Amino acid sequence: MRRSWPSLKINEYPMTSLHADEAFLDHYQFTHDPFASRVPGFKFFPAQRKPVLGQLHHLARYSQLLLVVSGPDGSGKTLLRQALVASTNKQAVQSVVVSAKGASDPSSILRQVAQGIQVPRPELSAILGQVGQLALTGQEVYVLVDDAEDLSDAALSSLLSLAAGNAEGRPHVFLFAETQLLSRLEQLAAGEECFHVIELQPYSEQETREYLAQRLEGAAQGVEVLSDDQVADIYEQSAGWPGLINQVARESLVEAMLAQRSAAGRGGFSFSLPRKHLLALCVVAIGVLAAWFMQGRIIKDVDAPVIAQLPLGEAATPAVIAPPSAAAIAPAIQFEGASQPLPLPLVGEAQPVIREPLAQAAGLSGAEEADAEGASRAADIAIEPSPVVVASVPVTPVIAGAAKVAPPVSPQPVPVLKPVAPKAAMAPAAAKPVAAGGWYATQAGSRFTLQILGARLESAAQAFVKAQGADYHYFKKQHQGKPLYVVTYGSFSSRDAAQAALRALPAKVQAGKPWPRNFAGIQQEIAQAR
């Protein structure tokens, strides 16, 4: 009998690692890649992790020690950190998320913490003083450090001092790191009990099956997509670690898909592409053929001049009319979106194919910036022939190639084609540029805005801002070594004012769980992304 696990829903849409090809989605009828690291509407899988989450909440309330969550790469440390932030009471806890990637020295770490709690001086004493002031208002401070194994020994010492606190205040410090950090912490502690370690455990085979079922059900399929042998093989290769489960499961499904297609095509030549790509190829082919046809017609007209016919009985000779230039007749071809790369099938870091509305798919939690990615699309081709104008002019008849000229006759109006410059293609409405040092730089660091969503493609952020209105802006930051375009709403004098404005937002925007952020932190992220 299958166990039913309660789940903690984390409404975020980072979509950083989605690289599902449309052929993969079509074959299994997935709404998205179920084994991408982050997926739409992801639900926290509680097996082996819910007890740890409860333990972290308990220790944060009663323990005075620095807390360390350790496990190998792919064990779910970052996801657990997101769940911890998402499950805290936002009115009683102010969470400051710090990344040790590229900022492992003490000054960089303290600067991130100081900006998170709006302290002008990134010094230990100033930070602890602000923590004490927040405690008087009923707010605790959580400092959560991702990739803590990258911290220098000096930075670890600073965080141990921060966790110890002083008479003014003491924040709760959490380190999420791989196991090699523990020996370094023991040396720094020098025998003193100043930190507590929680080691993550892998899933059992039954838990692995249930985890696969939850992932597949989120993409509109069931665990029946995988055979029992495939599930057993996935568990054996991944050893029960969720990151490896995702990787092995996806590879297993891709191999099965390729094997089925190969078997189906053995009877003869088989070639297939996703429908979107086939449509794009057809449109491109039509455009090329149209351009070739028009060019060929111009060349033919040059070789054989047009002979104008005059009324019967008049000594008329043909008038040679110069054909329009190729620039006037050639169709104006505009490739919209040609700067965006097409997705590569099943390999690399191609953009995801998402089949959900933008507002629903781009939801963010208050815990984490999302790595949202917009759907990649093939280039659209708009073909518009150049207009021509017919005018009447008098013609003096001439016999081409004849030695004699016929007696002059009364001139008759003969239509002449005059090329007219092609109509300019309408330029798309300019989207709001990334406000690096622009609108965000004009805001006071103490003011707040509502973070709505993040997207890997700038076009996705532009489309959302354009659809929602002038109060929405976006900026560029670096997240996990890649650009992320973050959409925000409004500018408010305080966190409470931002929270009040949140309730007035459209329901589809509220569904993404927007959350207040101060402009000081945003301005720092913009500066780091330059």
User: What CATH code would you report for 357-378+426-530?
Assistant: 3.30.70.1070
Signed CA dihedral, 119, 124, 125, 129: sign only: positive
pTM of full prediction above 0.75: no
Q: What is the pLDDT of residue 158?
A: 92
- Judged on CB neighbours under 10 Å (0-12, 13-18, 19+), 139 is middle
Residue 106 near residue 92, CB atoms below 8 Å: no
Distance of CA 185 to the CA centre of its chain: 36
Q: Would you tell me the crossing angle of helices 181-189 and 153-164 to the nearest 10 degrees?
A: 60
Q: Range(s) for CATH 3.40.50.300 in the chain?
A: 50-199
Ranges of the chain whose pLDDT falls below 50: 1-20, 268-270, 298-411, 414-436
Distance of CA 207 to the CA centre of its chain: 30
Architecture of domain 50-199: 3-Layer(aba) Sandwich (3.40)
Could you tell me the end-to-end alpha-carbon distance of the chain, in angstroms, rounded to an integer? Answer: 54
Mean pLDDT for all residues in the chain: 73
Q: What is the pLDDT of residue 393?
A: 40
Virtual torsion, Cα 127, 131, 137, 138, nearest 10 deg: 160
Virtual torsion, Cα 374, 425, 471, 464, nearest 10 deg: -10
Strands 140-146 and 93-99: parallel
Signed CA dihedral, 151, 155, 161, 165: sign only: negative
How far is residue 473's CA from residue 495's CA, in Å, rounded to a whole number?
A: 18
Distance of CA 475 to the CA centre of its chain: 13
Q: Which residues contact 364 (CB under 8 A, 6 or more apart)?
A: 11, 12, 13, 370, 372, 451, 452, 453, 454, 512, 513, 514, 515
Q: What is the pLDDT of residue 432?
A: 47
Q: Range(s) for CATH 3.30.70.1070 in the chain?
A: 357-378+426-530
Nearest Cα to Cα of residue 80 among 249, 241, 247: 241
Q: What is the pLDDT of residue 296?
A: 54
